[in-house]
Structure 1
Amino acid sequence: MRARIHRGTKEIGGSCIELEAQGARILLDLGLPLDGNPDDTALHPQVEGLQGGSELLALVLSHGHLDHWGLAHLAGPDLPVALGAATHRILKAAQPFLPRPYVPQQAIEFSSGTRLTFGPFTVTPHLVDHSAYDAYALEVEADGKRLFYSGDFRAHGRKGALFERLVGNPPRNIDVLLMEGSTLGRLQADRQFPTETDIEGKLLDIFQRTDGMALVAASAQNIDRMVSLYRACKRSGRTLVIDLYAAEILRATGNSNIPQSDWPNIAVYVPHYQRVRIKQDERFGLLEPHQSNRIFPEDLKAMAGKAVFLFRSAMLGDLDRADCLDGAVAVWSQWDGYLQQDKGSKVAETFAARGIPLEHAHTSGHASIGDLKRLADAIAPKILVPIHTFEPDRFPDYFGPRVTRKEDGAWWEIAA
């Protein structure tokens, strides 16, 4: 078996790995670089057969973040795309709301432990803890060689038990571990990130000392965070107000333990721009599953002091018209780096212009250095190849002589 990393040996985002055995090939992820334009052909990995008619057998997606699937549309309609069943449902649920949605035409759904066969390749996904719901590490075997691709993972989320299970019963006889290192250079080796339970506690504190509405800027697809928000709302006697997009994403998880639009302490508000889109596309059926707890613009002001509003900038006009922002606080509950980008900085400016203080409550979707070391030690690969990192040079400091750096685009043989 041979491998080449098209992107990721010295950057976070745009992950794409190509494997070859017996003349056949598969891809693991086909991501968009951070801040990348999907129409920029210079960012498109040079993979023969994406449009079909060659030895490329499949694309396997580790999880539902753009930096891992954002260029998957380059794959032709006939190429099988394997992905988690819940990831597939979430992509379909998001489709009516996004300007550039993606749903594979030849989808192969899997769950943890499912063995997938593509020619000489056997791929086994392992469910992991990550800020993306339904995220997997991928174990690949071909020609008697074994590769383990960590994907993106952590140990401090609400599914941290999955990490403990993996290090307690790791895959054996791994020749190559492709391991993410997102936190290298961003976290000291002896430090741990806050847990998702810690974030719940911080949100609770903010909600309890806020007189008005709490506007929380968070991703509806960060299901762990949605659980934290709901739990903090319930503990503080507040109602979590979600939009139709978030309601559909939560429904798509298919998990009865995940908050849903008809639960107590949840309300569904359909902002103006979504109402317009539904009318234009005649997608009125999207509303039907979420009618029981639906609220309307005239309800917002009366409930403001007992509401937490899952916020996006497109909703600001609704809130201004409802005159419901007296005593409000804003909470940035996603990566702080977005605030340095144009879109994030404009959101911060809109809050400041209205005299709304901005607080922070977030934790990383990626493993601390200590947990990276635990995984590497448990798997004990013959070689460890850095991926999904801006700091590949730091890997030997933490993982020793088994680290072998590779370059983007270069083929290399996986030795027995």
Structure 2
Amino acid sequence: MNARQNKITIYRGSHQIGGCATEISTGKHRIIIDFGANLPDNDNEDVMTDEELTETVFGGRPCDGVLFTHYHGDHIGLYKKVPQNVPLYIGSTAKKILEILTEKIDSIPNMAEEGLPRIKNMECYSPGHKMIFGDIGITPFFVDHSALDAYMFLLEVGGKKILFTGDFREHGIVGRNDRLERMVQKYIGEVDILISEGTMLSRTKETNKNPIQTEDDLGNRARELFQENKESVILVSSTNLDSIMKFYHAVPWGMDFVCDAYQAKLMLAAMADKGNYHEYRREFIHGKPRRLYIIGDMEGLGAEQNCCRADFSILKNKGFTMLVRENKQVFKAIMEKYMTDPLVIYSKWIGYLKGKHANAKIGDFIGSHRMEILHTSGHAYVETIEKLIRLTNPKTIIPMHTECADAFGEIAEFAPYRDRITVLQDKEEYSF
């Protein structure tokens, strides 16, 4: 094999967060890792549009497969644009969650193209099991992230080892007890090339000011807030299941847990697969599951799933906690009709509250209600990335999924590795 034919190309994501698409190619085969939509507030005119990206990545060229690291839209959002003859791969629980999410999206009136058939046809990879695409080997490894069932990939190409981190962290449930370190030492070892996310590199001040550093911190503080407040609503991403399960377990007995059927299905899917993830067995279910009180249409849920319809004439007297989404008016109506002075627990990125990334719908939803921010990032802190570099000892480090690629080497923790850092531009080929 001619080594110069082996190439890494970050088509999009070399200098931005999200909207990622990366190619690993040889002279005979190629795979794509992630094919994500740009984040909604991305206004960078120098970045390819989704249509341009699709034409550039595929454009009639054969492709052995697209492998998704996890189910977040900025990594999987363009799956419908992948040619039908190109197989798609994802983790098994991630696929179940995507099916629930996509069924919801497909039900929106005037949806141009249904996504569920393509999701159902996705193939599932298994953690630790190598897949072979011609002369490219790729092994997925389960990692800690705000999306359940997320993976980093170890690629073996032309005698070289490449670790593609995807989105990862070690301060969630899965990251406890030095799991990342143990996994890397046992299964990965040193690599030739490390392609690492760097989302939090532009958010270090925000991170340092946040008293909630881990999911355990979040759960502990949530327990205190629920004891202090009879009524609370939680504004959290519906697929951020680590945090959701922390909130779920923090609610004291005697206070009821309310959500809609869509959210309940996501939680139940995670609970059903808890046995697949050793780290989640205790966190996802303590004994018998708490009953979920469902708003509106039950959508087939019932006693078998330990779900029942929410009766707010009863719940308002007992007090309750409710998972909400800012784009669904029924939650606001319930707050106005059945709650006196609810505490809004905000569990999303703080950047959506103010500044250039501010989300007006979130601001309108919170309004003048009391609010406490209770959120921890789904991405690796600087010290976690440094630990991974130290453990894998790569000859080359390629940053991506970051707004700080050019400043990567200026970060104090990365100073010892400065001469190993290679910053790529979108569409630039890196031969190895």
Calculate the TM-score normalised by the size of structure 2: 0.83
Distance of 2:74 and 2:203 partners within structure 1: 19
From the superposition, tell whether residues 266 and 356 of structure 1 become closer, same or farther in structure 2 (CA, over 3 Å). farther
From the superposition, tell whether residues 292 and 186 of structure 1 become closer, same or farther in structure 2 (CA, over 3 Å). closer
Which secondary structure does the structure 2 equivalent of 1:231 belong to?
helix
8 Å Cα contact 2:93/2:273 also seen in 1 = no
Distance of 2:386 and 2:419 partners within structure 1: 13
From the superposition, tell whether residues 314 and 189 of structure 1 become closer, same or farther in structure 2 (CA, over 3 Å). closer
Q: Find the counterpart in structure 2 of residue 266 from structure 1.
A: 291
From the superposition, tell whether residues 266 and 319 of structure 1 become closer, same or farther in structure 2 (CA, over 3 Å). farther
Deviations along 1:119-146, one digit per CA (max 9) or x if unpaired, are 1111100110000000000111122222
Aligned-residue offset at 1:111: 2.0
Q: Find the counterpart in structure 2 of residue 33 from structure 1.
A: 38
Distance of 2:149 and 2:330 partners within structure 1: 34
Distance of 1:349 and 1:36 partners within structure 2: 18
Moved more, 85-94 or 57-66: 85-94
User: Structure 2: where are the runs of 5+ without partners?
Assistant: 1-5, 43-47, 275-280
Q: Find the counterpart in structure 2 of residue 324 from structure 1.
A: 338
Q: Find the counterpart in structure 1 of residue 393 from structure 2.
A: 380
Residue 239 of structure 1 pairs with residue 239 of structure 2:
no
Residue 160 of structure 1 pairs with residue 193 of structure 2:
no
Give the aligned residue type for 2:221: K
Q: Find the counterpart in structure 1 of residue 86 from structure 2.
A: 79
1:172 to 189, 193, 198: 189
Q: Find the counterpart in structure 1 of residue 76 from structure 2.
A: 69
Distance of 2:257 and 2:155 partners within structure 1: 42
Distance of 1:156 and 1:229 partners within structure 2: 16
Give the aligned residue type for 1:309: M
Distance of 2:78 and 2:193 partners within structure 1: 25
Distance of 1:368 and 1:204 partners within structure 2: 25
Which secondary structure does the structure 2 equivalent of 1:337 belong to?
helix
Aligned-residue offset at 1:312: 1.5
Distance of 1:367 and 1:328 partners within structure 2: 32
Aligned-residue offset at 1:313: 3.0
From the superposition, tell whether residues 400 and 199 of structure 1 become closer, same or farther in structure 2 (CA, over 3 Å). same
Q: Identity of aligned pairs, percent? A: 26
8 Å Cα contact 2:11/2:53 also seen in 1 = no
Which secondary structure does the structure 2 equivalent of 1:412 belong to?
strand
Aligned-residue offset at 1:269: 1.4
2:315 to 302, 313, 327: 302
| Pairing of 1:331-342 with structure 2 (within 5 A) | 331-340=345-354
1:361 to 365, 374, 387: 374
User: Structure 1: where are the runs of 5+ without partners?
Assistant: 279-283
Give the aligned residue type for 2:195: L
Q: Find the counterpart in structure 2 of residue 281 from structure 1.
A: none
Give the aligned residue type for 1:58: G
Aligned-residue offset at 1:185: 2.2
Residue 117 of structure 1 pairs with residue 122 of structure 2:
no
From the superposition, tell whether residues 16 and 357 of structure 1 become closer, same or farther in structure 2 (CA, over 3 Å). same
Distance of 2:49 and 2:7 partners within structure 1: 28
From the superposition, tell whether residues 106 and 122 of structure 1 become closer, same or farther in structure 2 (CA, over 3 Å). farther
Distance of 1:41 and 1:248 partners within structure 2: 30
Q: Find the counterpart in structure 2 of residue 44 from structure 1.
A: 53
8 Å Cα contact 2:54/2:82 also seen in 1 = no
Q: Find the counterpart in structure 2 of residue 202 from structure 1.
A: 221
From the superposition, tell whether residues 45 and 77 of structure 1 become closer, same or farther in structure 2 (CA, over 3 Å). closer
Q: Find the counterpart in structure 2 of residue 20 from structure 1.
A: 25
8 Å Cα contact 1:83/1:107 also seen in 2 = yes
Aligned-residue offset at 1:74: 0.9
Distance of 2:293 and 2:207 partners within structure 1: 42
1:140 to 151, 155, 161: 155
Residue 91 of structure 1 pairs with residue 102 of structure 2:
no
Which secondary structure does the structure 2 equivalent of 1:64 belong to?
coil
Give the aligned residue type for 1:386: P
Aligned-residue offset at 1:265: 3.4
